[in-house]
Amino acid sequence: MFRFSKKTPTSFDTVIATKNTSKTVYPILFAISLAHLLNDLLQAVIPAVYPLLKTNYDLNFAQIGMITFCFQVSSSLLQPLVGAYTDKHPKPFSQIAGMVFTFLGIITLAYASSYYWVLLAVVLVGVGSSIFHPESSRVSFMASGGKRSLAQSIFQIGGNTGSALAPLLVAWIVIPNGQRHILWFVAFALLAKVVLFYIGSWYQNILQVSKNIKKKQLMLPDLSPTRIVFSVSILLLLIFSKFFYVASITSYFQFYTMDKFGISEVQAQVYLFYFLISVALGTLVGGFFGDRVGRKYIIWFSVLGVTPFTLALPYVSLEWTGFLVVIIGFILSSAFPSILVYAQELLPKKLGMVSGLFYGFAFGMGGLGSAVLGWWADKTSIEHIYTICSYLPLIGIIACFLPNMKNVKFKEDTDAIK
C-alpha cells in the first residue's frame, strides 16, 4: 500500500505517492546521466571541430559564431514549447525521437560539402537537444526522492562530462584523419537510444502507476505572482551572465590559446578539456551542497567567487591560464543545478516548461554570445573579447534580491488534491 510521508514540508516538497519515487532511484539517475553524457558529447563535437571547419571552409570568426548561433537557437526555441507540451502530455520515449535528429545531424556534419550543409547539420543536432532536455530533466526530478539538487547535478554531470570528452575524442579520431571520421560518433547515438529505451520504460511505468493514485500532495511557495516572476527573471539574468561567458570559452578558447601562446591545435583541445572537466566536477559538487547549505548560498558563491579569476585570465601566462580555466569552470558551473531547482521550486506545477525555458535560455545565450563574440573578434582581436567578458560575472550581484526558499512558507495546492 502506498502512503504519504508524515513529515511536514519545510521547503518545496512534492510528494508523488508511488513506491518507485518515494526514495532516490539511483539506477535511473545514473542512466539519465549516461544518456546526457552521450547527448552532450555529440553536441560538443560541433565546437570541438571548429578549427578543422575553419580551415576546410576558410571561415572567419563571425561565420564560426553563426554555426554556434544556429545550433543554439534551434536547441533553445523549441525547449520551452516541448516542456510545456509534455507537462500536459508526457512522452516517455520522446528522447529517442530527439536522438534520431542528432543521429542525422552527425551524419550530415561528417559529409557536409559546404558551409551551408554544416549549418543544416548543427540545426538537426539542436532540434535533437531541444527534445531531449525537458523530459530528461523531469525524469531526474521524478527519480530524485527529494534530493533535487543532487539529482539535477548527477544528470548535469553526465552532460558536462560528455562535453569534456568530445575535444579529446575529436583530437584523437577526427583531427588526424579528417572530417569524414566524425561518422564514428554515430555509434554513441545508437548507444544512447538503447539507454533511453530503458529510461522510457521506467518512466512509462511510473506514469501508469500514477494514474491509479487517488490523491497526491503538491506544496506551492507562498509568494505573490509578481515576486515569482521577478525571481525567475533574476535567475534568467544569472543564466545570461554565465552562459555568455561560457560561450567565449567553448567557441573561441582554442583560437585564443593558439593565437596568444602559439600552441598546436591538439594542445588547445587539451586546454579546453581542462575547462570542461572542471565544469563537470563543479556541477556535481554544487548540486551536493545545494541540498545541504541552501541553493541561494551556492548561487552567491558561484556568481561572485569566480569574478577575481575571470578578471585575471587575460593577463596571465599559459601555465596560469590552464590553472585559472579550471578554477573558473568549477566555480562557474557549481550554481546551475541550484538555479534550475530553484526555478522548479518557484513553479512546481510547470516542471517541463521551466526545465525547457532554462535549458533553452542557456543554449540561446550561448548561441547569441558566440555570434556576437565572433563578430567582435573579427573587428578587434580574439584576446580582446576575454578582457570584456571578464566583467560578466559581476552581474551576479543581483542574486541578493532572490528570496531564501528555506524561509519561505509553503501551502498546499488544493487544485491538485483529487
**Cβ of 404: how many Cβ atoms within 10 Å?**
10
pLDDT tier for residue 34 given thresholds of 50, 70 and 90: very high
* Rounded Cα–Cα distance for residues 101 and 66 (Å): 20
Domain assignment present for 16? no
Q: Please, are residues 24 and 140 in contact by the beta-carbon 8 Å criterion? A: no
Q: Which of 264, 245, 184 is nearest to 385 (CA)?
A: 245
**CATH code of the domain covering residue 142:** 1.20.1250.20
Q: Give per-residue pLDDT as tens, 362-388.
A: 767 777 777 788 888 888 888 888 888
**Cβ-count burial of 411 within 10 angstroms (0-12 exposed, 13-18 middle, 19+ buried)?**
exposed
Domain assignment present for 195? yes
Place of cell 566536477: 281
Q: Give per-residue pLDDT as tens, 234-292.
A: 888 888 888 888 888 888 888 889 988 998 888 888 888 888 888 888 887 887 787 77
Angle at the Cα of 75 (from 134 to 278), degrees rounded to 5?
A: 80
Domain of 143 in residue numbering reads as 26-416
User: What own/partner pairs with CB < 8 Å and gap ≥ 24 does 314-323 have?
Assistant: 314/383, 314/386, 314/387, 314/390, 318/257, 318/261, 318/263, 321/257, 321/261, 321/271, 322/271, 322/274
Domain assignment present for 1? no
Domain assignment present for 4? no
The pTM of the full predicted model, rounded to 2 decimals, is: 0.68
Place of cell 531564501: 404
Q: Is the pLDDT of residue 25 over 70?
A: yes
Q: Give per-residue pLDDT as tens, 161-201.
A: 888 888 889 989 998 888 999 999 999 999 999 999 999 99
Number of independent structural domains in the chain = 1
